[in-house]
């Protein structure tokens, strides 16, 4: 007699088919199905067919996947998807009005203008726009008047995994008088209610802002309304580095906390009669709806709120199961979102929320069993102290298992979008939970009853919270920069881990998959490889050679944001860099603004040149005000003047720091001389006169010269060109370099990042 088989779960398979089909279809142009997407669709359908053949999936799964693909490819409006621009190609982007319908991005601050049906798309339709005064409702006919500065993205030779440069050509700010309303926005029956709720949110934010102190500045507002504008950038980056950014996002976590602290006590106080329980349910549902509305009404919040309301409603029904199938319940919600709003399921916050919830449902139990071990004894009361200790240990183990499951489930998304992960975040989330919970309570109570007495507890809890995060930030691998891997490889390896949690036979396959993922894929270079990144008005040069993992000569910009994650990190991920060498010519912002984030993600092996603490040298200095912090325990080398040969593991590679003049400022910039197999490359900072004339540099040709001070007309450059004539000159700048005509007159080939983007040189 055959053993009885567990019945198939229909809803999870429906959710998987719809989600995968829409994810593939939304990335295909309307009416067009590129070969890559057809291949992915065919592979997914084949996998579903095989799953059905193995009696693991229903037979209709391939058809549901195909229907979702075609529906999404025809209905989901894609982002422009233009190629990134350089500084020389943005002049005409805002020369003409940009007319169409407003499409909002998920951050609530930016958006883009979609052409009207039948109208051609112009250059401006590929811009990511950031209005300064007001955000139009979704679908509103608008026009962006000519004007405004267009800022290209910082770029390296390898695009970032989750870069906006893959969806928009550049970014532009819209002044208050540059955004014009052309017609009435689409009718929204709840628009008056939404405006009223927005006014209430602003009022509550102002109330808690008055209670914030020096340490808790911006934190109470972020925990109450999700608004992070008042939070210092270094504080936000601390949450990001330690893998606890989800605490700042108003999501299902906050809804669950509100339910545990407010709704659950109300439910316990309700009477036993049916009428009393119904009244308690109505009150709790109303409070939850009010909380979700004031928290911004984002999809993760609404989904978690709806789940709690339905779960509470099910408790009122006679004969309802005590433990509903959480996975099917989650799949039903996801399937409904796919059917009702296919364009919305691609948002990052929603993807992370669903992945984390699925991981909690599938992985918490097996991970908890592994933490407890096979010899776990049932709880026996042998004194109140032992009972409390055992209950606390059990609660901590359960919370740790749940946190690990959520982190593991969201790992493929974090890998493909952020390119980094903080393994310590699973534990840090639990450690900071007490001060975080206290801060949430203070924010809610302070918004309802504003009083100065809340400031002291808020400051204390904020100090404890930040102290714990800083301790975690000091741990190795916080964060851990991840190598470049295909998203489907990481997702498949993660799925095998969850399968191995339930079926021990799959553990070998999971270990094999992760061995393939974690083994180095990048081969060491055979020669010298040099890259000048496109960072606008700034300098960021990266090189590597046999024996030198990576060297960074300056890393900063004045007019480009996110230089490290958009330009440096992707190249480091492709090279699989663990400990780079950093050389800083001088501490001005256009040379050092990205070094703090760079060193926090990839700790340097050594630091040469200008001292990092000089980057906050004082007002008016042009330095990156406090943006660069000293790297403790890292070897340092510098020189006052003259020439200093630097250590190198490769006998054919020579590295020398050269400084022509002692002192701060541009003239005290350090230059880097690179010698490789008879060729010389000279990278200059911002010295223009004495700093160039005093360089101890032997006469003879140069293979490459990085022009000083972003191509300015330096008085000391002419004698340097005569003494060491270069075969090629590079200029890192956002404006046309002043030395261009002189280089052409001398017959010296030159290249400019503002016109060509990232520059590359490879020497055998």
Look-up of token digits 């083994």: 519
Query: Higher confidence at residue 78 or residue 221?
Result: 221
Q: pTM, whole model, 2 decimals?
A: 0.85
Question: What percentage of the chain carries pLDDT values higher than 70?
Answer: 85
CA distance 649 to 549: 10
pLDDT tens digits along 697-755 = 999 999 999 999 999 999 999 999 999 999 999 999 999 999 999 999 999 999 999 99
Contact indicator for 346, 376 with CB cutoff of 8 Å: no
pLDDT tens-digit readout, 354-382: 888 889 889 998 998 887 765 545 555 56
Residue-wise pLDDT tens digits, 502-526 = 888 889 999 999 999 999 998 889 9
Greater confidence (36 vs 109) lies with 109
If one compares 110 and 317, the residue with the highest pLDDT of the two is 110
The number of helices, as runs of H, and strands, as runs of E, in the chain is 27, 23
pLDDT of 22: 80
**pLDDT band for position 333 (cuts 50, 70, 90):** confident
pLDDT in tens, 197-255: 778 888 888 888 888 888 999 898 888 887 887 888 889 889 999 999 888 887 777 78
User: Among the CATH numbers 3.60.15.10, 3.40.50.720, 1.10.3720.10, 3.40.50.740, which is that of 528-763?
Assistant: 3.60.15.10
Q: How confident is the model at residue 294 (pLDDT cuts 50, 70, 90)?
A: confident
Concatenated DSSP letters for 612-623? GGGGG--TTS-B
Beta partners for 704?
681
**CA-wise closest residue to 679 among 730, 609, 726, 749:** 726
Q: What's the chain's average pLDDT?
A: 83
Helices (H), 341-486: 348-372, 384-409, 411-417, 425-431, 433-448, 455-473
* The predicted structure's pLDDT at residue 736: 93
pLDDT at 686 over 80: yes
Provide the pLDDT for residue 30.
44
Taking the C-alpha atoms of residue 307 and residue 582, their distance in angstroms, rounded to an integer, is 50
* Pair of tokens at residue 487: 């998203």
Q: Looking at the predicted structure, is the pLDDT value of residue 23 above 70?
A: yes
| Mean pLDDT for the stretch of residues 526-551 | 95
- CA–CA distance, 124 with 114 (Å, rounded to integer): 10
477: pLDDT strictly greater than 70: yes
* Confidence band of 27 (pLDDT split at 50, 70, 90): low
Gap between the Cα atoms of 741 and 556, Å rounded: 26
Range with top average pLDDT, 96-100, 325-329, 479-483, 540-544? 540-544
Position 623 confidence tier, pLDDT thresholds 50, 70, 90: very low
Helix axes 191-209, 433-448, angle to 10 degrees: 110
Q: Which residue has the tokens 């433990």?
A: 323
- Decide if pLDDT at 39 tops 60: no
**Residue 350 above 90 pLDDT?**
no
| CB neighbour class for 118 (10 Å; exposed up to 12, middle 13-18, buried from 19) | exposed
Report how far residue 530's alpha carbon sits from residue 550's, in angstroms, rounded to the nearest whole number: 10
- Residue 763's DSSP bridge partners are 528
Residue of 691, 686, 749, 730 lying closest to 712 (CA atoms): 686
Count CB atoms within 10 A of the CB of residue 152.
25
Domain positions in the chain: 10-75, 87-181, 345-373+386-421, 487-518, 528-763
The mean pLDDT value for 401-427 works out to 91
């Amino acid at each position: 007699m055959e053993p009885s088989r567990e019945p198939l779960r229909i809803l999870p398979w429906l959710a998987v088919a719809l989600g995968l089909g829409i994810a593939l279809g939304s990335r295909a142009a309307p009416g067009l199905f590129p070969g890559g997407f057809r291949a992915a669709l065919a592979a997914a359908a084949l996998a579903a067919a095989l799953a059905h053949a193995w009696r693991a999936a229903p037979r209709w799964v391939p058809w549901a996947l195909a229907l979702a693909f075609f529906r999404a490819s025809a209905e989901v409006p894609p982002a422009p998807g233009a190629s990134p621009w350089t500084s020389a190609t943005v002049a005409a982007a805002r020369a003409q009005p940009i007319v169409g319908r407003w499409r909002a991005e998920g951050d609530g601050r930016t958006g883009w203008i979609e052409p009207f049906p039948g109208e051609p798309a112009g250059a401006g339709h590929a811009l990511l726009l950031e209005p300064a005064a007001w955000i139009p409702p979704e679908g509103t006919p608008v026009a962006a008047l000519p004007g405004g500065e267009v800022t290209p993205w910082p770029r390296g030779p390898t695009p970032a995994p989750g870069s906006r440069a893959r969806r928009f050509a550049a970014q532009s700010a819209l002044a208050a008088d540059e955004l014009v309303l052309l017609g009435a926005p689409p009718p929204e029956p709840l628009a008056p209610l939404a405006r009223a709720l927005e006014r209430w949110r602003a009022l509550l934010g102002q109330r808690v802002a008055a209670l914030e102190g020096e340490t808790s500045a911006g934190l109470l507002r972020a925990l109450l309304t999700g608004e992070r504008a008042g939070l210092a950038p270094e504080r936000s980056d601390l949450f990001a580095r330690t893998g606890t950014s989800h605490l700042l996002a108003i999501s299902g976590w906050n809804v669950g906390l509100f339910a545990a602290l407010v709704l659950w006590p109300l439910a316990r106080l309700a009477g036993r009669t049916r009428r009393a329980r119904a009244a308690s349910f109505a009150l709790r549902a109303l409070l939850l709806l009010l909380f979700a509305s004031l928290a911004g009404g984002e999809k993760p919040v609404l989904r978690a709120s709806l789940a709690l309301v339905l779960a509470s409603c099910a408790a009122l029904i006679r004969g309802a199961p005590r433990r509903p199938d959480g996975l099917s319940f989650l799949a039903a919600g996801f399937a409904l979102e796919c059917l009702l709003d296919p364009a919305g399921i691609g948002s990052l916050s929603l993807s992370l929320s669903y992945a984390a919830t699925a991981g909690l449902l599938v992985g918490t139990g097996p991970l908890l069993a592994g933490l407890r071990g096979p010899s776990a004894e049932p709880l026996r009361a042998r004194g109140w102290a032992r009972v409390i200790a055992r209950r606390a240990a059990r609660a901590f183990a359960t919370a740790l298992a749940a946190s690990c499951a959520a982190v593991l489930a969201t790992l493929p998304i974090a890998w493909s979008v952020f390119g980094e992960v903080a393994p310590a975040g699973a534990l840090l989330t639990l450690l900071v939970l007490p001060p975080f919970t206290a801060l949430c309570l203070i924010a809610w109570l302070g918004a309802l009853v504003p009083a100065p007495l809340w400031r002291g507890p808020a400051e204390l809890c904020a100090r404890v919270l930040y102290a714990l995060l800083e301790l975690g930030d000091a741990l190795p691998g916080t964060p851990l920069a991840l190598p470049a891997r295909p998203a489907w490889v990481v997702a498949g390896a993660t799925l095998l881990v969850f399968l191995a949690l339930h079926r021990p036979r799959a553990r070998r396959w999971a270990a094999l998959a992760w061995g393939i993922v974690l083994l180095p894929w990048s081969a060491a270079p055979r020669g010298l490889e040099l890259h000048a990144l496109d960072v606008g008005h700034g300098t960021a040069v990266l090189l590597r050679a046999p024996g030198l993992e990576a060297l960074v000569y300056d890393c900063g910009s004045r007019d480009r944001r996110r230089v490290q994650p958009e330009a440096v990190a992707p190249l480091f991920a492709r090279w699989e860099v663990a400990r780079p060498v950093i050389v800083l010519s001088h501490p001005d912002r256009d040379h050092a603004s990205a070094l703090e984030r760079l060193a926090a993600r990839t700790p340097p092996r050594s630091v040469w040149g200008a001292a990092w603490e000089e980057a906050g040298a004082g007002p008016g200095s042009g330095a990156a005000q406090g943006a660069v912090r000293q790297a403790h325990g890292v070897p340092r080398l510098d020189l006052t003047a003259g020439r200093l040969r630097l250590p190198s593991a490769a006998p054919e590679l020579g590295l020398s720091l050269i400084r022509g003049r002692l002192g701060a400022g541009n003239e005290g910039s350090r230059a880097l001389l690179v010698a490789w197999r008879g060729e010389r490359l000279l990278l200059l900072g911002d010295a223009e006169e004495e700093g160039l004339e005093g360089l101890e540099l032997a006469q003879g040709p140069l293979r490459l010269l990085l022009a000083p001070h972003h191509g300015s007309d330096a008085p000391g450059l002419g004698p340097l060109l005569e003494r060491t004539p270069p075969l090629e000159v590079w200029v890192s700048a956002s404006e046309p370099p002043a030395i261009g005509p002189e280089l052409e007159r001398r017959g010296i080939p030159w290249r400019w990042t503002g016109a060509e983007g990232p520059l590359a040189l490879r020497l055998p």
